[in-house]
């Protein structure tokens, strides 16, 4: 062996090397911080814009309208509203016309265009609650029409803006929380739309999706990871599942259309079919995450359980699965969040129809939050802009709530080994 010269650790070349190393680390750190800052900036911009535009959607402008029921053309006997025929009596009366006439009487010709098309429903509900209103002149604060509401924000027609400032000076304008937005369904008039129909549609769809995708996905992962022999067939299955997770979602929509609607003749536009389609999409994500979580359970736990005479099923369900559950739940969160925000496959199975009432069950026609947002964003009326943002806020809150529950469950099941 040839003798080497003594290494000089303090030589100029060595010092330069150290400086370069420090420089590289500083640069790497700076790039990382910049990346995080940029993504946080975009996130803040997105959330800020949504909140700025959308919070107004939860509020409504109200116009004071006084209705003199005894003097009006309304034919409705207060006595008829206390019996079993109350519903029919209310339905037969022309409340809508009475309210429109009252608005015209209050604010002159064109007065009816100041209040929302759906505002007479408030009057009807108030009468149903207290029939004695019919015996006197009553005052109502009714939701303003979309045109006036837009004018209130300074973005409307000059004619309505003048109207608005006049009304405001006379004290006929008030603002309040738009409860109808949270309890109603889609409508043609932006001042009358609600998100509840789409929210319930999303909820029912997610229930179907998770009820199918979670058990099937987890059990597939368990079988493939713990039981299946390693051979060509299981390899093909594994590759197929990995590919399924990467298939564009609209393809799943086409699949749902072909299989569930055209072949199985399930009801069109229903949360059941939407849930089935999204379950197909979510399952591969859960299988992949589940397999990785199962793989991460140390083999010593399996050995320990086998050595006291646990059967393979007992090993999996008593020991391995509980340890893998946090990881499986993380995968489920990712899959479910993706399914919740999915629009394209649902368009294919007809969940984009105009739904003026919330679905009453899994087989009722429905729409879902992202599709509702998509539909509203396409509307020409200015009033829909803030409603779209408000719907996005509702979707994000739904998403956060779902993730919150999943994270809570994950922490609850998390164990150390």
Partner 1 sequence: MTAETINDMAAHQQADHSRDERPKMSARDVSVFYGDKMAIDNVSIEVGTENVTAFIGPSGCGKSTFLRTLNRMNDTIPSARVEGTIELEGQDIYAPGMDVVQLRARVGMVFQKPNPFPKSIYENVAYGPRIHGLAAGKNELDEIVEGSLRRAGLWEEVKDRLADSGTALSGGQQQRLCIARAIAVDPEVILMDEPASALDPIATAKIEELIHELRGRYAIVIVTHNMQQAARVSQRTAFFHLGHLIEYGDTSQIFTNPRETRTQDYITGRYG
Residues forming the site for partner 1 (CB under 8 A): 229-230, 298, 300-311, 314, 318-319, 323, 415-417
Q: How far is the CB of 209 from partner 1 (least distance, A)?
A: 31
CB of 176 to partner 1, least distance (A): 54
CA 178, CA 187: separation in Å to the nearest integer?
Answer: 15
Of the pair 266, 409, the CB lying nearest partner 1 is at 409
Distance of CA 209 to the CA centre of its chain: 14
CB 146 to partner 1: min, Å: 59
Task: State how beta strands 137-143 and 173-177 pair.
Answer: unpaired
* Whether the Cβ atoms of residue 291 and residue 324 lie closer than 8 Å to each other: no
Contact 61, 148 (CB under 8 A): yes
The smaller minimum CB distance to partner 1, of residues 68 and 414, is found at 414
SS3 content of the chain, % helix, strand, coil (to 5): 70, 5, 25
Least distance between partner 1 and beta carbon 298 (Å): 8
Helices 383-413 and 12-54, axial angle in degrees (round to 10) = 120
Cβ count within 10 A of residue 205: 31
Residue with smaller CB distance to partner 1, 109 or 231? 231
Q: How far is the CB of 234 from partner 1 (least distance, A)?
A: 12
CB of 307 to partner 1, least distance (A): 4
Q: How far is the CB of 324 from partner 1 (least distance, A)?
A: 12
Reference 320, options 345, 349, 297, 292; nearest CA is 297
Residue 311: left if φ>0, alpha if ψ -120 to 50, beta else—which one?
beta
Q: Which is nearer to partner 1, 52 or 227 (CB)?
A: 227
> At 3, is the secondary structure helix, strand, or coil?
coil
Distances in Å between the alpha carbon of 291 and those of 210, 229, 283, 330? 18, 15, 12, 12
């Amino acid at each position: 062996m040839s003798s080497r010269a003594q290494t000089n650790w303090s030589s100029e070349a060595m010092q330069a090397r150290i400086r370069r190393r420090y420089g590289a680390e500083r640069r790497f750190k700076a790039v990382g911080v910049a990346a995080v800052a940029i993504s946080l900036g975009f996130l803040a911009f997105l959330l800020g814009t949504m909140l700025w535009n959308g919070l107004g959607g939860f509020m409504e402008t109200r116009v004071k309208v006084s209705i003199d029921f005894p003097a009006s053309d309304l034919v409705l006997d207060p006595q008829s509203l206390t019996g079993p025929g109350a519903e029919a009596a209310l339905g037969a009366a022309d409340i809508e016309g009475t309210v429109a006439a009252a608005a015209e009487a209050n604010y002159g010709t064109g007065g009816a265009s100041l209040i929302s098309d759906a505002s007479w429903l408030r009057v009807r509900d108030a009468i149903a609650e207290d029939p004695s209103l019919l015996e006197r002149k009553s005052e109502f604060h009714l939701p303003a029409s979309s045109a006036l509401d837009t004018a209130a924000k300074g973005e409307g027609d000059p004619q309505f803006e003048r109207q608005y400032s006049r009304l405001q000076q006379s004290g006929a304008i008030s603002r309040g929380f738009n409860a109808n937005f949270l309890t109603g369904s889609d409508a043609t008039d932006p001042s009358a739309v609600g998100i509840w129909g789409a929210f319930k549609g999303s909820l029912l769809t997610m229930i179907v999706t998770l009820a199918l995708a979670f058990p099937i996905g987890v059990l597939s992962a368990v079988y493939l990871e713990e039981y299946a022999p390693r051979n060509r067939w299981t390899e093909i299955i594994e590759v197929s599942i990995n590919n399924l997770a990467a298939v564009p979602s609209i393809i799943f929509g086409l699949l749902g259309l072909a299989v569930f609607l055209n072949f199985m003749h399930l009801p069109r536009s229903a949360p059941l079919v939407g849930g089935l389609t999204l379950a197909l999409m979510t399952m591969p994500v859960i299988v992949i995450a589940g397999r990785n979580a199962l793989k991460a359970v140390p083999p010593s736990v399996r050995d320990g359980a086998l050595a006291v005479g646990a059967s393979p099923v007992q090993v999996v369900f008593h020991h391995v699965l509980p340890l893998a559950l946090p990881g499986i739940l993380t995968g489920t969160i990712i899959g479910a969040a993706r399914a919740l925000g999915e629009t394209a496959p649902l368009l294919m199975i007809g969940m984009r129809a105009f739904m003026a009432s919330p679905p009453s069950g899994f087989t009722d026609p429905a729409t879902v939050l992202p599709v509702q947002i998509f539909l509203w964003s396409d509307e020409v009326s200015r009033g829909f802009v803030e409603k779209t943002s408000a719907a996005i806020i509702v979707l994000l809150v739904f998403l956060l709530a779902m993730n919150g529950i999943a994270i809570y469950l994950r922490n609850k099941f998390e164990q150390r080994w």
